[in-house]
Amino acid sequence: MSAVQDTASKSFRPFRDGFRYAALSAALVLAIAACGGDKAETDPAVQPETPAQPVQAPPAPAISAQVAAMSVDQLREAARAAQTEQRMYAPASNNAMEYYLALRDKQPNDAAVASALTDLMPYALIAAEQSIARDDFVEAQRLYALMEKTDKAAPALPRLKQSLTDAQTSFAQRQQQTEVDAETEKARLAKLEEDRKKAQEETQRVAAERLASQQAQQAEAARQAEANRQAEANRQAEAARQAEANRQAEAARQAEAARASTPATASANDLRAISTPSPKYPPEALRAGQSGEVLVEFTVGTDGSVSAARVVRGTPPRVFDREAVAAVKRWRFQPVASPVTTRRTIGFKPGT
């Protein structure tokens, strides 16, 4: 006999003993009535015994000692595996609900654990009601203990407890009508265990499908939120790039307009360089082996010095700009009759 069958058999033993006691009492009353005639019928001292009431075994703890002894990481991994394998609330000592309860005892403020237990409560309630309908009071009491530990204030608990008490009383009364022979009881318990497993498998399969659907919906919502966040970040970055491009275009337009409004009395062809020191190579670019070029616009004064140097275009942007402008400002040309504005491209190549 399995452990479940043995427990159930012990739970039913008081019902059978009560039935035997009631039967012996009734037999004694009949015997006295046969010997004493009408006197036995009017003798107040001879009354039939009240049938024995069902004795309920003390409920087992909701969490087994084996589960309670597990670490937080072990409980979390075991709970995930139990859900994946559709062991939502059964078998005892190896189900998701029991693992989550033990995990909540160790980490009371874990919101994910509380949410998981809330999701599992309806399935445990359905299973408990099905167990009561099958007269499987051992399983019903175990499920009730799980639900009570999950939420003592759950509205369904009083009704479920009353239903369990009524079913046990009704079962005891039925048991008192006939004595079930050991082999019949053994077969009934075996059938009960088989039905229980089938019912658990089906109920937990449906529960797993529902949970999987909920999790998929949550994952899709999270993915959509992340996609929206990324799209908004890209939009803001593009707006910033466009604003910078517009600023640079406006600056170039203003410079071009200024040049167009200033009459030139000398041209770039009149410039004769005296000294054009090379720019310094930016250390970061040198270490990275990065090359590039900068188009610099500058004005040569009548004394041959450089002023108003600015970057027209840098490739890559802002890597070599500072050093190119600094170098151009150190250049010297032969004096000219009037200031001349020109452009030069300065190249940067590692090793040159």
Contact of 140 with 146, CB cutoff 8 Å:
no
The 10 Å Cβ neighbour count of residue 329 is: 14
- 37 phi-psi bin (left φ>0, alpha ψ -120 to 50, beta other): left
All CATH 3.30.2420.10 domain ranges in the chain, comma separated: 268-348
Tokens representing residue 76 in the block: 């979390």
Q: Is the model more confident about 15 or about 309?
A: 309
**18: pLDDT strictly greater than 80:** no
Task: Please state, in angstroms and rounded to a whole number, the distance separating the CA atoms of residues 198 and 204.
Answer: 10
Q: Exposure of 300 by Cβ count < 10 A (0-12 exposed, 13-18 middle, 19+ buried)?
A: buried
Share of the chain above pLDDT 70, in %: 79
Q: Where are the alpha helices (DSSP H) in 262-351?
A: 283-288, 321-329
Residue 39 banded pLDDT, cuts 50, 70, 90: very low
Measured between alpha carbons, how far is 137 from 171 in angstroms, rounded to an integer?
10
Give pLDDT tens digits for 253-311.
Answer: 786 665 554 544 567 788 999 999 999 999 999 999 999 999 999 999 999 999 999 99
One-letter amino acid at 254 equals Q
Residue 301 · residue 333 · CB < 8 Å: no
- What is the DSSP code (8-state) at residue 42? H
Quickly state the pLDDT bin for 112 (edges 50, 70, 90): very high
Q: Which residues pair with 307 in a beta bridge?
A: 299
Confidence of residue 12 (pLDDT cuts 50, 70, 90): very low
pTM above 0.95, yes or no: no
**Tokens, residue 80:** 């995930």
Neighbours of 187 (CB within 10 A): 11
CA atoms of 333 and 341, how far apart (whole Å):
12
CATH of 268-348, picked from 3.90.550.10, 3.90.1170.50, 3.30.2420.10, 3.40.50.10420, is: 3.30.2420.10
Strands (E), 224-339: 273-275, 292-300, 306-315, 332-333
Q: List Cα–Cα distances, 57 to 54, 60, 112, 142, 190, in angstroms.
A: 10, 9, 34, 12, 21
CB distance 53 to 172 below 8 Å: yes
